[in-house]
A and B are shown apart, each in its own frame.
Chain A
């Protein structure tokens, strides 16, 4: 009976050994895994450290560039060890600076000029109404003995041909662009005011308007008496987004000449229409 017992014990011992061995093996592989993880983390940390070092130096050089206006190798050498790296950093800083300056030109409403294939330039200009940027318009101009506009996305009601003749495209391209930009900004401005009315003044009825937004007829209601007032705004100066003429009409014939409505009429002439409406509502002139 000793044998089987021994066998069982032996088997158990063997099993125990196996388990132990397995545990050790597992621990070893665990250790390996941990070591690998640490190695990976160390690499990542060093990578991040050097990226931070690069961006910090880049920032310093960029600040220097902004201060002096022109890149100066000496300043950069003072900053860094004057190695190959500092030269590359200087190039990178100048690159970011130029990109920022070009984008800033676009932001301040400058004309983005791109040279196109052959003899031509593509000009694009941003428009805005007050703080809100609106469309960007483009025109392609063929240069040569006679300058002419070949392609554009200027709305048809902007008198482009007239402006080309009037402002003498040949001699003063900038003056032409300035006038065109006034027309475009005034147009998008009038259209934006109209959008504000539609959004914020539900009680105001829009009777008539046109694509160029140079005429605007509004039906307003006087509170209490339920009297309708027809307000016609004419924008005859197409370079402005304020009306040149305001007409107030009503069945109540005395109303338009009342002091209150004379004041309202004057307000329409000097305040953007959506803001004038807010004031009219506040003072109780309209619903």
Chain B
């Protein structure tokens, strides 16, 4: 009597090959989605897998759901607090693992969000390398897309940040820039609401320009131009100027050159009084002359 064991051996070989393929598929999946396999997540994953294969599970489904729910609530609170404190909102974040070993982890991040009304998209590679029990984290391949037109002029700053991989500087700068944009908007709106007859915002409240016009004096206007400049090293500098416009005839009558000297006087005023008080003084003087 001689039994043939070959079919068994063949079956085993096929299964082993199939398992190897599945194993690499599973690893690939886990790379696509970063699993923070903490307690409750691991339980949930095991339960899911257990349910699928019909095996016994240690914890009941309800229990695991409740635990996940509690954790999610806590994480959501954290996120709200973080967003409020940072002044930067993150809407989406996708992470893909490019390389993983015991001493090295390389991941690609894609972030999108906004800082008040400025939308951004950022993409970068984060490498975490263990050197002598110390972890060294580094950013490479930084790519930034700013949708906001307000930020379009600062391509030199953005490309410098991209070259240096200076992610933190970029976010510090857009936060300060956006804060200053908000200041400007608040100030412009405040004056327009206070003096609707003389003040208009031709480019909307978010623009750089505020116009002071007196209906009785057609052709005369004072323009406040409030630009925000971003230097190459990420400093945000406000530039506030007064531009005057007057018909030729009226200018000839202005013997004391008040209009000519106005921009310079306005600069001195800014230094002494600050922005709001200077604009207030300017508007008051216009109203007084009516």
- Tell me, in angstroms, the Cα distance from A174 to B168 when the chains sit together: 16
Give every chain B residue within 8 A of A27 (Cβ-Cβ): 2-3, 5
Is B139 in contact with chain A by the CB < 8 A criterion? Answer: yes
On whether the beta carbons of B30 and A55 are closer than 8 Å, the reply is yes
Across the interface, do B79 and A101 meet the contact criterion of CB distance under 8 Å?
Answer: yes
Measured CB to CB, the nearest residue on chain A to B71 is A95
Among A58-66, A157-165, A214-222, A249-257, the one that faces the other chain is A58-66
Interface residue tally for chain A (C-beta within 8 Å): 76
Q: How far is the CA of A58 from the CA of B68 in the complex (A)?
A: 15
Interface residues of A in 81-119 (CB under 8 A from B): 84-85, 87-89, 91-92, 94-105, 107-113
A240 adjacent to B25 (CB under 8 Å) = no
Q: Across the two chains, which residue of chain A brings its CB closest to B75?
A: A98
The verdict on A208 contacting chain B, using a C-beta distance below 8 Å, is no
Which single residue of chain B is at the shortest CB-CB distance from A49?
B22
Report the separation of the CA atoms of residues A89 and B95 in the bound assembly, to the nearest whole angstrom.
18
CB of B280 closer than 8 Å to a CB of A: no
Query: Among A35-43, A146-154, A193-201, A223-231, which stretch is in contact with chain B?
Result: A35-43
Assess the A92–B45 pair: CB atoms within 8 A. Answer: yes
A205: CB under 8 A from chain B?
Answer: no
Q: Is the CB of B23 within 8 A of A48?
A: yes
Size bin of chain B's contact surface: 35 or more
**Known interface pairs A53-B52, A102-B75; A110-B29 also in contact (CB < 8 Å):** no
| Any B CB within 8 A of the CB of A2 | no
Complex Cα distance, B88 from A110, in Å, reads: 8
- Chain A residues within 8 Å of B156, by CB: none
Listed stretches A6-14, A130-138, A258-266, A278-286; interface member: A130-138
Q: Which of B6-14, B186-194, B248-256, B266-274 contacts A (4 or more CB under 8 A)?
A: B6-14
In angstroms, Cα B64 to Cα A87, docked, is 12
The yes or no answer to A139 lying at the interface (CB within 8 A) is: no
Minimum Cβ distance to chain A for residue B279 (Å): 23
Residue from A100, A127, A185 whose CB has the most chain B CB atoms within 10 Å: A100
| Interface: B239 (CB within 8 A) | no
Q: Indicate whether A75 reaches chain B with its CB closer than 8 angstroms.
A: no
For window 169-206 of chain A, which residues contact chain B by CB distance below 8 Å? 173-174, 177-178, 181-182, 185
Does any Cβ of B come within 8 Å of A50's Cβ? yes
A25 smallest CB distance to B (angstroms): 11
Whether B82 pairs with A102 at a CB distance below 8 angstroms is yes
Contact check, B69 vs A96: say whether CB atoms are below 8 A apart.
Answer: no
For B211, what are the chain A residues with a Cβ–Cβ distance below 8 Å? none
Q: Does A69 contact B (CB under 8 A)?
A: yes
Given contacts A37-B12, A55-B33, A88-B61, contact A128 B82 (CB under 8 A): no
- A11-46 contacts to B, CB under 8 A, are 20, 24, 27-28, 30-31, 34-35, 37-38, 41-46
**Chain B residue at smallest Cβ distance from A66:** B92
Asked if B61 and A55 sit within 8 Å, CB to CB, the answer is no
A88 touches B65 (CB 8 A): yes
B49 in contact with A51 (CB, 8 Å): yes
Interface membership of B175, Cβ < 8 A: yes
Which of A58, A109, A132 makes the CB contact (< 8 A) with B138? A132
CB-CB under 8 A from A88, the residues of chain B are 44, 47-48, 61, 64-65, 68
- Would you give the 0/1 interface string for B166-184, flagging 1 where the beta carbon is closer than 8 Å to chain A? 1111011001100000000
Chain A residue contacts of B19, Cβ below 8 A: 41, 44-45, 48
B96-137, CB under 8 A of A: which get 1 and which 0? 000000000000010100000000001000100000000011
- Determine if A50 and B49 form an interchain contact, defined as CB atoms under 8 angstroms apart: yes
Do A59 and B53 touch across chains, with their CB atoms under 8 A apart? no
Q: Verify A109–B65 contact, CB threshold 8 A.
A: no
Residue A126 is within 8 A (CB to CB) of chain B in the complex: yes
Q: Which of the listed residues B8, B12, B86, B167 has the most CB atoms from chain A within 10 Å of its own CB?
A: B86
Q: Which residues of B contact A (CB under 8 A)?
A: 1-3, 5, 8-9, 11-12, 15-16, 18-19, 22-23, 25-26, 29-30, 32-36, 40-41, 44-45, 47-49, 51-53, 61, 64-65, 68-69, 71-72, 75-76, 78-79, 81-83, 85-88, 90-95, 109, 111, 122, 126, 136-140, 142, 164-169, 171-172, 175-176, 233
Known: A43-B53, A99-B75, A108-B168. 10 other contacts (CB 8 A): A31-B8, A59-B33, A96-B33, A101-B79, A101-B90, A102-B78, A102-B79, A130-B164, A132-B138, A133-B136
What are 19 inter-chain pairs, A to B, with CB distance below 8 A?
Answer: A27-B5, A31-B5, A31-B8, A38-B11, A41-B12, A48-B19, A50-B48, A56-B29, A88-B61, A95-B40, A98-B78, A101-B93, A102-B79, A105-B79, A105-B83, A111-B85, A128-B168, A132-B138, A178-B176
Interface, chain A (partner B; CB < 8 A): 20, 24, 27-28, 30-31, 34-35, 37-38, 41-56, 58-59, 62-63, 66-67, 69, 84-85, 87-89, 91-92, 94-105, 107-113, 123, 126-128, 130-133, 173-174, 177-178, 181-182, 185, 240, 242
